[in-house]
Amino acid sequence: MEERQQHYRKVSAAAVASLLLGLLSALTFFHWSLVAIPLASAFFCWLAFEKIRETPGELTGRPLAITGAGLGVVFGIMGLGWLLFAHASELPPGYERITYEMLQPDPANKKEIVPQTAVELADKRVFLKGYMYPGRQQVGLREFVLCPAIPDCNFCRIDPKPTEMIQVKLEGDLVTRYTTNLVRIGGYLRVDSTPGQPVPYQMDVDYIR
């Protein structure tokens, strides 16, 4: 009786990586930088196909690689769509979106207190996102300082520069409490470029989320 010997083929590590990254691509919904995950899934899918093509008798795993790349494409497109929608819908009507980068002086110009871009934004109704600087008062806040990063984060710079701090004053009956979550504010930006001014930016805020 003739014995049949079945040849064992190892599953490609790149195919497994593609599948795992494809599953992790669901994280794309949470941040723009995580778009790299579905791209990596597609790369490992390609790498798996190349390795299997080079050693067809030793490696297998094409279905895993295809599944991973497919999940990466689906989650990647859906995640990007959600991020674009959230980015567009968070801007209230009548406000101009700005970033902290637009408020920073040129590092090469030591005499510049605030950049021209900030001067041009003065007294305009703007929308900005940031994090509260922690203070003694936790509730019933009518004023607080907004920074681009979480000030009490162990991995972030604790002491922001003056141009990275915005003195926020809530208008009308608005009141809030301290939070470590991202804060979205809208209002009129005030710019004071007087030398020696500790915080050159202030916002009279009529919108906060």
- Which regions of the chain carry the CATH code 2.40.50.870? 96-208
pLDDT of residue 150: 77
Contact 57, 9 (CB under 8 A): yes
pLDDT of residue 6: 56
Q: Are strands 59-60 and 10-11 parallel, antiparallel or unpaired?
A: parallel
For residues 51 and 47, give the distance between their C-alpha atoms in angstroms, rounded to a whole number: 6
Q: Mean pLDDT for each 10-residue chunk of the chain (209 residues)?
A: 60 94 94 93 95 88 94 96 90 95 91 92 96 91 93 62 94 95 96 87 96
* Residues with Cβ within 8 Å of residue 117, at least 6 apart in sequence: 102, 103
Contact 205, 168 (CB under 8 A): yes
| Fold designation for 96-208 | OB fold (Dihydrolipoamide Acetyltransferase, E2P) (2.40.50)
Angle at CA of residue 46, ends 43 and 51, nearest 5°: 125
Closest CA to 144 of 170, 124, 126, 125: 170
pLDDT of residue 196: 78
Closest CA to 16 of 59, 53, 54: 59
pLDDT of residue 1: 43
Residue written as token pair 């907004």: 146
For residues 205 and 132, give the distance between their C-alpha atoms in angstroms, rounded to a whole number: 14
Q: Which two tokens stand for residue 151?
A: 């000030």
pLDDT in tens, 83-94: 999 888 899 999
Contact 24, 14 (CB under 8 A): no
Neighbours of 45 (CB within 10 A): 28
pLDDT of residue 2: 45
For residues 208 and 32, give the distance between their C-alpha atoms in angstroms, rounded to a whole number: 23
Tell me the residue length of the chain. 209
